[in-house]
Amino acid sequence: MAGLKKTIIRGGLETLYFSGMHQILRPLVGGVGAILTLHHVRPPRAEAFQPNRLLEVTPLFLEGLLRRLRRSRVDVISLDEMHQRMVSGNFKRRFVCLTFDDGYRDVLRWAYPLLKKYETPFALYIPTSFPDRLGELWWLALEAVIANNNRIGLVVNGKDRFFDCGSVKEKRELYDEIYGWLRSMKTEEELRRVVRDLCACHGVDIASFCRDLCMSWEEIGQLAADPLVTIGAHTVNHFMLKKVPSDATVRAEMEMSRAVIEAALCIRPQHLSYPVGDPTSAGPREFRIATELGFKTAVTTRPGVLFKVHREHLTALPRISVNGEFQSQRYLKVLMSGAATAMWNGFRRVNAA
């Protein structure tokens, strides 16, 4: 997310909170429930350069959230229960689902004991190449390349270019610039090729992130054995599916991930999360294919709470991102009220285009 947009959101949320407007809007936009997105849960780190910090929250913050949910009149439910309530029209009580994308080991170490303590059901969406140790966590590899070097070389449009990144400020700016450039590429193959080359030239082992940070099949199996846990699919290779030219490949990414999880854990995933999940990564074609493959639900990262009408769009569900840049319970209260995302969506209830 660009710095400016982030500032606007932060500013907007503060305004909403202090004006109390979200309380007024609540009956209008509060919806019937919400699905929260989390990634890493781990203690804060000291480094000044942490461009991916938005993907992590601290155990302390998570515990605050779980305590708040416990005290509220909102039901914390599994994805199956959410699906059941949506299709049967059971909207007597508002609900929240907790979902963790990518299967990081810190979820097992730091989040799971807390989720267990508060008896909170949650879902893990697993890209099968991660426990298969073939995953490329390119956004972390890019972070390491910039963190470990004071100057990096890059071929842009066929020309060699060099960037100084000795200071934290330069590192942040360079990360944003390269990240934006990579995300604007037409295919993810191009993106991966650039990051692989960067890693090869700057002494970063791209395979190490998957090995060091992601759960093994054995670890996922430990969690999967707990009735609190739902295992969902998150494709095989974690590609931005909308950028994949062939429908057959998109279908295979979804179908294969379900088959691999079933083979590894004897659990057939009924729920799917689209990698990255924003409008540049998942669109109508992906929603249709997920429906055709029989997934009960599929989630995006488009911001929003759930409305009754989402039962017609169960493979294009919005979520609320629990963003590490906004680790204040106050932000979360506003986000879950639906007011902030309603403003973001211009008061459109369904955004499935």
- Please give the residue ranges that form the binding site for Zn ion (CB under 5 A): 101-102, 275
Q: Which is nearer to Zn ion, 276 or 334 (CB)?
A: 276
Nearer Cβ to Zn ion, position 102 or 286?
102
First to last CA, the chain: 21
In angstroms, what is the minimal distance from the CB of 337 to Zn ion? 26
String of b and e for 171-204 (b: at least 16 CB within 10 Å)?
A: bbebbeebbeebbeeeebeebbebbeebbeebeb
Q: Which is nearer to Zn ion, 29 or 107 (CB)?
A: 107
Of 277 and 338, nearer to Zn ion (C-beta) is: 277
3-state secondary structure of 124: strand
Residue 6: partners with Cβ closer than 8 Å, 6 or more residues away: 325
- Report the residue number, 321 or 341, with the smaller CB distance to Zn ion: 321
Q: What gap in Å lies between CA 232 and CA 297, rounded to an integer?
A: 10
Quote the least distance from Cβ 93 to Zn ion, whole Å: 30
In the complex, minimum distance from the CB of residue 57 to Zn ion, in angstroms, rounded to a whole number:
16
Query: With respect to Zn ion, which residue has the nearer C-beta, 102 or 253?
Result: 102
Residue 79 Cα to chain centre, angstroms: 16
Q: How far apart are CA 249 and CA 33, in angstroms?
A: 33
Enter the tokens of residue 292.
């055709």
Nearest approach, Cβ of 276 to Zn ion (angstroms)?
7
Q: What is the full DSSP assignment across 48-115?
A: S--TTGGGEE-HHHHHHHHHHHHHSSPEE--HHHHHHHHHHT--SS-EEEEEEES-BHHIIIIIHHHH
As measured in angstroms, the least distance from the Cβ of 285 to Zn ion is: 19
Distance CA 131, CA 109 (A): 16
The minimum distance between CB 63 and Zn ion, in angstroms, equals: 24
For Zn ion, the closer of residues 108 and 339 by Cβ is 108
Q: CB of 177: closest distance to Zn ion in angstroms?
A: 23
Which position's Cβ is nearest Zn ion? 101
Residue whose CB is less far from Zn ion, 167 or 249: 249
* Two structure tokens written together for 133: 């140790």
> Minimum Å distance from CB 39 to Zn ion?
7
Helix axes 284-292, 247-265, angle to 10 degrees: 50
144 vs 105: CA distance, rounded Å: 19
